[in-house]
Amino acid sequence: MAKKVTAKTKEEAKVTQFIKSDEADITVEKRLVAMYKLQQIDSQIDRIRIIRGELPLEVQDLEDEIAGLETRIEKFKAEEVALNQKNLEKKTMIADCNALIKKYSTQQNNVRNNREYESLTKEIEFQNLEIQLCEKRIKEANAEIERQKQEMERIKTILEDKKKDLEIKKSELDEIIAETQEKERVLLEESKENEKLIEDRYLTAYQKIRANSRNGLAVVEVDRDACGGCFNKIPHQRQMDIRMHKKVIVCEYCGRILVDQAIVAEVEQA
């Protein structure tokens, strides 16, 4: 026999439906609160890493500069050794030329005809030209060695300054790491805990939006009727829907998740 539907059962059905609807609304609101809170935590982590991230780059640049300067100094040293070796060779050639000149001069005293004398004279002239050329090359090499020594001293001065800057930057970096490491660890733990309150599909969407956003913002508040991420105006009806907390609403321009001032206030007061 069919159950008679009374006014009481109809009223109970309405109450049950209202409760279920209210529970759904609370779930969405909690989800929005969790995502906005996660955004605030992750933004703090981002700021710490930005501050800490600039110094390591500066340190790396200084280390690269120092390595480049040290390489140049070593190159100058190697070139100086090579030039000194060439000078030694030229000096040996000069000694050999002088020995030949002495030999040819002695032979000139014992020649039998003018032809032999002229031949020895030409040999002596050739050896003198060789000596002049060697002396010229030695002079050029010495000038280059002196120029390189001056340049090397200039680079050494720059190198010392860079090393001092590096020491200061490393000290600053160590201080910042010491100050922020513990804070970052705590924030990372809070972030992981907060992620547990968000369903996988929403968490995946949140992480994807953050990855594609230049400033890492995936959840933003509506401020002065505009999206807090791209600053485009939000239609009045859409703002009404955001304030209802019945579903997750994203900006139609930038795709960021939008929350109202009530969500922001709840997170700030927590």
Residue 199 lies in a domain: no
Query: Could you tell me if residue 4 is inside a domain?
Result: no
Residue 63 has pLDDT above 90, yes or no: yes
Judge whether 40 lies within some domain.
no
Under DSSP, is residue 231 helix (H, G, I), strand (E, B) or coil?
coil
* Domain-embedded: residue 58: yes
Which CATH number covers residue 62? Answer: 1.10.287.1490
- Residue 11 located in a structural domain: no
In a domain, 255, yes or no: no
Q: Does residue 197 belong to any structural domain of this protein?
A: no
- Amino acid identity, position 71: T
Q: What domain range includes position 68?
A: 52-190
In a domain, 171, yes or no: yes
Q: What element of type H or E holds 173? A: helix 114-195
Average pLDDT of the segment spanning 48-72: 87
Q: Tell me the pLDDT tens digit for each residue of 224-247.
A: 999 998 999 999 999 999 999 888
Count of structural domains, the chain: 1
User: For 249-268, b where at least 16 C-beta lie within 10 A, e where not — what string?
Assistant: bebeebbbbbbbeebbebbe
Beta strands per DSSP E along the chain: 219-223, 226-227, 257-259
What's the mean pLDDT in 45-71? 87
